[in-house]
Amino acid sequence: MSWMEWYNSLVKPEWTPEPATIGLIWQILYPIIAVTFLFVLVQAFRRKVPWKVTLPFVINLAANIAFTPIQFGLRSLMLAAADILVVWVTIIWMMIAIWQYYRWVAIAQVPYLVWVSIATTLQLAISFSN
């Protein structure tokens, strides 16, 4: 069965957004993520922030990229739940790490944190219901 048929067959909360809505939200968030992540990386190369500040950004990016193959490729709900928890925790860590250097970067992560908070709650609900 295709990934969409598999996803549609899962038990989900009533408040689950439509896949098109989820896609639209990510289309809005990814440019914000890209600009802020690249900015932090450039600032690390310029030695305006310590390299350790980039660590949560790198971990977050890797976990974010890994989610789709884990969820829809491996179809491992519990591993996807663990992965999205890593994404959520590293957003908070990123915001704390960058705050003293570039507050605007931390503030720009707020929509990402809000969405991933919702997505984490959704993923945990789906994982434990299936």
pLDDT at 44 over 90: yes
Is pTM beyond 0.85? Reply is: yes
Enumerate the domain spans of the chain: 18-129
- For residue 10, what is the DSSP state? S
Question: Mind giving me the DSSP string for 20-59?
Answer: HHHHHHHHHHHHHHHHHHHHHHHHHHTTSS-GGGHHHHHH
* Predicted pLDDT at 1: 87
Write out pLDDT tens, residues 8-35: 999 999 999 998 999 999 999 999 999 9
**3 state DSSP class of 109:** coil
